[in-house]
Amino acid sequence: MRATLAALLLFASAAPAAAQWPFEPAPSPEEARYQMDRAELARVLGGAHYLRTMCVDRGDQIWRNAMEELLDAETPIGSPERSALAAAFNAGYRDQEVRYYSCTDEARQAEAGLREQGAKLADAMRARNSD
């Protein structure tokens, strides 16, 4: 009886480890930073898209197109990473949607600020990739 109980306990303690295999190794600090910047860039593009379509032209798709380029360059269709970036874009869009109901000078300045922030993020990401 003790041998059976010991075998069951040993088997039960090994089950969680087996359930986790194969595992994804943790990303390196550089890769983690890149992933965070990429998600932030997606969020910035979403916010800029909302503000630009409100202030410039409803049909203006410059920032949405930039997001599609980011997705196509960085993630395969159907991947969890692609879904996460799309969610970040949508969150950025909603962030601005609740702040600005009409095109004001403040909304235009916010879009300019997001453009600047996006350019800095993109430059930093490019610099890290060229190393």
- How far apart (Å, rounded) are the C-alpha atoms in residues 126 and 60? 26
For residue 49, give both structure tokens: 């898209």
In this predicted structure, what is the pLDDT of residue 65?
Answer: 92
For residue 13, give both structure tokens: 């303690």
In this predicted structure, what is the pLDDT of residue 12?
Answer: 41
pTM: 0.77
Give the CA dihedral 30, 73, 55, 91, nearest 10 degrees.
-60
DSSP class of residue 23 equals -
Kindly list the distances between the CA atom of residue 112 and the CA atoms of 8, 81, 101, 106, in Å, as whole numbers in the listed order.
Answer: 63, 27, 17, 10
What is the mean pLDDT, run by run of 10 residues, along the chain of 131 residues? Answer: 41 47 74 88 95 91 91 87 94 97 96 94 84 60
In this predicted structure, what is the pLDDT of residue 3?
Answer: 47
